[in-house]
Amino acid sequence: MPIDSTHPDYDAHINQWQRCRDCVDGSDAIKARGEVYLPRLSDQSNEEYGAYRMRAYWFGAAARTVQGLAGTVMRKEPITEAPTVLDDVLADATQTGISFEAFCKTALEEVLKTGRYGVLVDMPGAQTVDQRPYWVGYEAEQIVNWQTEMIGGIPTLIMVVLCEAVVEEDPDDPYKLNQLEQYRELYLEPSTEVSPARYHQQIWRKQKNVERGKEEWAVYGNEIMPVFRDTPLTYIPFCFMNPTTITPAIAKPPILDLADTNISHYRSSADLEHGRHFCGLPTPWVAGFPVETKLKIGSSVAWVASDYNAKVGMLEFTGQGLGALERAIDSKSKDMAILGARLLEGQKATVEAANTLITRLSGEQSIMQSVANTLSVGFSKLLEWSALWLGVGETEAKKATAKLNTELIDTKISFTDLTELVKNWQAGAMSYETMYYNMERGGMTRPGIEFDEEQAQIEIEKPAVIPQNIDPLTGLPDPTMNPDGTPMDGMPAKKPNPFGNAGA
């Protein structure tokens, strides 16, 4: 079996991924696929079909939905807790200038498009002083094969094959770049009685087989065995990311139904524009002119007929023939909104109530929350592997976490609600932690600051308490009062300090 063999589940879903990706890529990608998305009408010539396809209108619902839904998650920065050795990884996850936050956005959009993304934690081959792990992202179409096995009662990834595009300089022309296809095989060498399982990488490229006279896939270069402190890894540091799990199982792309409706909308648009073109344009007609006469239309010419009964006129489209197509397009536009393109709707003239907004977006929110939570688990695993590779102990490495935003609706707490929260807290009806939680949900706190951190800062900034026996006019202690504001023995009671315990 050659290295480019694909997994059965890959074959079953590749067409879905292609449809969704083409829809997100937009008009050029859709029209370039020709009859795949827009069947040819009966007896249409190539020229006629080209004009038919060109007139069709592509409504970019899929792309705007992916961008909009991803934006609802990324409107707040991901929260990370990681040892300082991971600062460089968070600042430049790929060692190509892409930050952790930007990497998260790419992964999020890919999972929305195809329902699948993969990330490999790798280490540069050359040993350097500042050597550190970096991340490589792989789209669904690039993860062509995989295999798991039960090891110690746990499903364990033992093989992944990744398709890569490599750009190399042409040996005959230094100004020309050639793009080559190669496969990167990640596999786990089985454990034995004397050694544990060991992780390996192998590159495959097409090479000329002299005996057979054709190109065949063959191992390229030396085998790679990544090590940690001179010890081979016992697992494959590759993380699958799906809408609900970080397992190799393939899930339905979240925008698949929207993409299919988007394509149907495109076909209806093609028919509508085709009908408008041929039926909507006024067409002249004549009677009583010789058949061989060539007539031109314009202000500089006049038609003269020798037949006194000659007639001229214009054919114009009437009736409701195209109305059905227009209604179909309108219906499909609404369907796309229901299926996830809520962000495509125009803004209402009045401010929409928060409860109404939450109800409208409940479907998208549940999907996006699931995706955000799953990616949080996946990125936490990537941070853990990176920390281990940088020498952090296993216990500390497991504390490295990432949390993507799941508060998808940007609703601000009102002054009235804030006042009620404070009143309930002062009355003992709720704890300060509960009040802080509600303030956080209402956008009244600093991003990424937990309750404990805020409480500690409050203690630091807490103003000094003014003793109750300080005269507010002179600023000196009142000799007739105790520090707690009670009168000394034998002294009459006085009015309390009007400043109370306020700060100076």
With beta carbons less than 8 A apart as the criterion, state whether 488 and 481 touch.
yes
CA distances from 67 to 103, 185, 205 (A): 15, 32, 36
Q: What is the pLDDT of residue 317?
A: 63
Q: Please give the helix or strand (H or E) that residue 184 lies within, else none.
A: strand 173-189
Q: Please give the helix or strand (H or E) that residue 121 lies within, else none.
A: strand 117-122
Rounded to 5 degrees, what are φ and ψ at 202? Answer: -145, 135
Regions of the chain with pLDDT less than 50: 341-352, 354, 357-364, 497-504
Residue closest to 438 by CA, chosen among 427, 423, 459, 460: 423
349: which residues sit within 8 A by CB, 6+ positions away? none
Instruction: Report domain extents, the chain.
Output: 1-126+242-291+308-410, 412-462, 464-504
Q: What is the pLDDT of residue 125?
A: 65
Residue closest to 263 by CA, chosen among 103, 40, 482, 60: 60
Name beta bridge partners: 198: 189
Q: What is the pLDDT of residue 304?
A: 77
Rounded to 5 degrees, what are φ and ψ at 275? Answer: -65, -40
d(CA 420, CA 427): 10
Q: What is the pLDDT of residue 15?
A: 96
d(CA 389, CA 233): 9
Q: What is the pLDDT of residue 494?
A: 60
d(CA 29, CA 20): 11
143: left (phi over 0), alpha (psi -120 to 50) or beta: beta
Question: Residues 450, 453, 458, 459: is their CA dihedral positive or negative?
Answer: positive
Q: What is the pLDDT of residue 76?
A: 86
On the 0-12 / 13-18 / 19+ scale of CB atoms within 10 A, 98 is: middle
Q: What is the pLDDT of residue 450?
A: 75
DSSP code at position 136: E
